[in-house]
Structure 1
Amino acid sequence: MAYDEELAQRIREYLVEFPELDIVEKKMFRGLTFLVNEKMCIGASGNELMIRFAPLLHEKLCEQNGFRPMIAEGKEYKGYGYINPDYIKTNKQLTNWLDIALQFNKEITSQKKR
């Protein structure tokens, strides 16, 4: 599970600005995933940023430079995507994407294990 440790550290540095959030790091999906308030939210996957976002934004985000939807076993997952490292070089670029994920995280409920 190789992931860009520098990207993971940049994510950590941003998330620490929100002490009210419960952040758990977990190795999964080819990298390091950040669970926010018990919900998958953000990840460092290889050298890309992975975000979870409102599925209604899917088409709009697909039009953004550097974005690609998550595809697994031939299926496109609306509400999940990857951001090319060339489009998260600056902190402003990175935080724009992180804010999209954090906003959606506020809107959804966690799925507790049964």
Structure 2
Amino acid sequence: MAYDEALAARIRTLLAEEPGLTEKRMFGGLAFLLGGHMAVAASGRGGLMVRVDPDRTPELVTRPGVERMVMQGREMDGWLRVFGHPEIDDLPDTDLAAWVTEGVDFVKTLPPK
């Protein structure tokens, strides 16, 4: 499955003023990186991929349409998939902005690569 280009455009708009932003095709999707760290991506498996503080994962996965990322059969703390209501296009701009902010705020705590 290809990533949702409309979702990528919405993310790009939200991050337009973010210094040091780069885009990179990763995991079959389009990732948005700050300081070399992926903050958020339009996932190739559908939905939004968000990097968060691993300690907040248990709290954040209780929200509707949110689950841990599964990589090589393992659930990963600190990596979430957000699906929306029920399609990512239906995710309101304010919700999308909140998830993008969640990812950006976390990666800004990491040292640059």
TM-score (norm 2): 0.88
Partner of 1:17: 17
Q: Distance in 1 between matches of 2:13 and 2:31?
A: 15
Q: Distance in 2 between matches of 1:91 and 1:62?
A: 20
The one-letter code of the counterpart of 1:108 is L
Unaligned runs of 5+ in 2: none
From 25, 28, 32, the counterpart of 2:26: 28
Partner of 1:103: 105
Deviation at 1:34, TM superposition (A): 0.8
Q: Distance in 1 between matches of 2:69 and 2:75?
A: 6
The answer as to 2:79 corresponding to 1:80 is: yes
The one-letter code of the counterpart of 1:105 is V
Deviation at 1:109, TM superposition (A): 1.3
What stretches of structure 1 move > 4 A for 4+ residues in a row?
none
- Residues 69-110 of structure 1, C-alpha deviation per residue, up to 9 Å, x if partnerless? 011222111100110032752110101111111110111113
- Residues 1-41 of structure 1, C-alpha deviation per residue, up to 9 Å, x if partnerless? 610000000000000133xx211111111211111121111
SS in 2 for 1:110: coil
Superposition pairs for residues 21-100 of structure 1, below 5 Å? 21-46=19-44, 47-86=46-85, 89-100=91-102
TM-score (norm 1): 0.88
Unaligned runs of 5+ in 1: none
Q: Compute the RMSD of aligned alpha carbons.
A: 1.5
Q: How many residues were matched structurally?
A: 109
Q: Distance in 1 between matches of 2:80 and 2:112?
A: 19
Using CA pairs under 8 Å that are at least 6 residues apart, name the structure with larger relative contact order, 1 or 2: 2
Q: Distance in 1 between matches of 2:57 and 2:81?
A: 12
